[in-house]
Amino acid sequence: MLTVASNLKMDAQNTFAAGFRLKCDSIFAWCREHHVADGLDVGLSLSDMGLGLEVKTPVTKWVDLRAGVDWMPKFRMSTRFNLNTYSDGVPTGNFHHVAQLVYNNTGIEMDEIVKMHGVGSMVNFKLMADVYPVPSNRHWHVTAGFYAGTSMIGRAYNAKEEQPTLVGLNLYNRAYEYFTNLTDIFNVPLGGNTYMDPDMVEELQEKFRRYGRMGVHIGDFKDGTPYIMEPAPDGTVSAKAYVNHFKPYLGAGYSTDIDREGRWHFGVDLGVLFWGGAPDVINHDYVNGRDVNFTKELINVRGKVGRYIRTIKSFPVYPVLAIRFSYTIL
């Protein structure tokens, strides 16, 4: 009885397997006849989105589907900020007096110029549909698709050797806040039951008011208020550039075979990436406890940073130029 049941089960499995193979053969034959997923290309690309690895297959005689990953290696730029002292946003030009004051009280030597490093990098998955308006001409195509991946495309941060200067800046600004807001000059503790001489307190108050608060005048808010950038509490300065995670793409291109067998291919594509308007360049303002967007909130951004910001603003969409080499493996 068990043998009969086993044989029936085996026959059913064989029948199912044969039917499945027949169905697959029918699907593959239909795909070959209609040029749907009947080939597979693997390729490399080089573009201003970085180095790319991709695969391509036809989905109809009109359309090829491409998928892959683009990676932009890290690249570095540098810039410099000049430190100054300010009173109500107006430079007072007392950096050297402040630097001497900080050195006399802490031993920290401050530099007037702070060096910054800027690093950019991107990684994105891409999915593209190449549409051939004339099926008999497999050279010219229009492309629609998207990139999805990195949102933060760059960041700027101070060089390590600038850390003492930035720590000294923070110490000075804390002392500035304390003494310029002090009302009781007779009870400024030095430690234990020892208090600072009131005449010395008044002298320091007069110096702080005359010197002003220290920072970097990056630019102005749209209402004309100066934006004076100061370090984070840990004595660092940084900013980050952001775009959308999801980035639609539209473009056009040309491709051709470069060998007699038609297995090696070369292509050129030109298009635009919609990455969410001009990238946001964000610095956290620890004095006021909020983020400041250099791109959208500030005007008259100064120096090399200003040139970078103006360049960024000129690209609400990102132009993409790519060359591709591919090989047909199936």
Instruction: Classify the phi-psi angles of 190: left when phi > 0, otherwise alpha if psi is within -120 to 50, otherwise beta.
Output: alpha
pLDDT digits (tens, 9 = 90+) for 274-323: 999 999 999 999 999 999 999 999 999 988 888 889 998 999 999 999 99
Signed CA dihedral, 222, 223, 225, 230: sign only: negative
Q: Which residues contact 277 (CB under 8 A, 6 or more apart)?
A: 316
Q: What is the CA radius of gyration of the chain?
A: 32
Of the candidates 94, 77, 35, the one whose C-alpha atom is nearest the C-alpha of residue 59 is 35
163-180 helix and 198-211 helix, angle to the nearest 10 degrees: 120
pLDDT band at 26 (very low <50, low <70, confident <90, very high): low
Work out the mean pLDDT of the chain and round it to a whole number: 89
Residues pairing with 143 in the sheet: 130, 251
> What's the CA gap between 330 and 100, in Å, rounded?
73
pLDDT band at 219 (very low <50, low <70, confident <90, very high): very high
pLDDT digits (tens, 9 = 90+) for 47-87: 999 999 999 999 888 899 999 999 999 888 888 889 999 99
The predicted pLDDT at position 36 comes to: 64
pLDDT digits (tens, 9 = 90+) for 162-204: 999 999 999 999 999 999 999 888 888 887 788 888 999 999 9
Q: For residues 163, 168, 170 and 176, what is the CA-based torsion angle, rounded to 10 degrees?
A: -170
